[in-house]
Amino acid sequence: MARSVRPGPPSSRLVGLIEGDFSGYERDSGEDRRVRFVPTGDGPVFDVVSRVERRFLGRTEIAVFRADLPVSFPDEGRIEMRHTGRLKRQGVTAVPLTGGESVERVVAALATDPGVARALQPLDFTHFEISLGPSGCRAEVELMGASHVAIALPPIRSYVHLHGDQREAMISGIGEVARVIGATV
C-alpha cells in the first residue's frame, strides 16, 4: 500500500479535536513544542504527529500515535501488526519488516499471544508498527478515528472521532505488546 506522506507535525485544529476525545489524558505543553498527551492515571504517554493524504481538491489529515514502550531489545528491528481474515476479521498476526532471528522470536510471540489478539481485535487501525532497539522500543499506530477529511467539491469537512472503545483498545493493545516484548527479551 502506498503511504502518501511521511508523518509530520499535526495541525493545531486536529490536535484540538483529538484533545476533546482523549479523556483520561492531558495535553502536555512542554517547551519543546512537541504534541504530547500524558495519562492522568496509568497508561502510555503518546506523542502525536499526523500524516496527510493529499488528493485533488481534497485532503485527509490522519493522527499517528507514537508511544515509547517501557522495554528495550538487544537488536534493531521493525514489526508490523495486522489483522487476519479474508472478509471478516479473524485474529491478529505479526509480520517482520526488518531484523534478524531475535526479532523473528518476538514476531512469533506477538502472533500467538492471546492477550495481544484480544486487545487488537476490535481496534480499527490502518497501520500498527513496532520498532525494537537497545535504546528503547516504540509503537506507532494510525487509526480510522482521529482524522479530519476536507473535500472542496462537493464541499465537505468532517472529523472522524476517536471513540472511547478505540482509545481503550489502543492503550490496552500497546500494553499487551510491551508485555510480550518484555517477556521475550
User: 120-179: which residues touch another protein (CB under 8 A)?
Assistant: 124-127, 129, 131, 133, 135-136, 138, 140, 144-145, 147-161, 163, 166
Cβ neighbour number for residue 156 with a 10 Å cutoff:
10
35 binds another protein (CB under 8 A): yes
Buried b (16+ CB within 10 A) or exposed e, 9-41: ebeeebbebbeebbeebeeeeeeeeebbbeeee
Among 20, 70, 100, 134, contact with another protein (rule: CB under 8 A): 20
Of 109 and 144, the one with the shorter C-beta distance to another protein is 144
106 touches 181 (CB < 8 A): yes
Q: Which residues pair with 59 in a beta bridge?
A: 54, 150
To the nearest whole angstrom, how small is the minimum distance from the Cβ of residue 40 to another protein?
19
9 binds another protein (CB under 8 A): yes
Q: The C-alpha cell of 145 is what?
A: 478515528
Among 75, 84, 108, 114, contact with another protein (rule: CB under 8 A): 84
58 binds another protein (CB under 8 A): yes
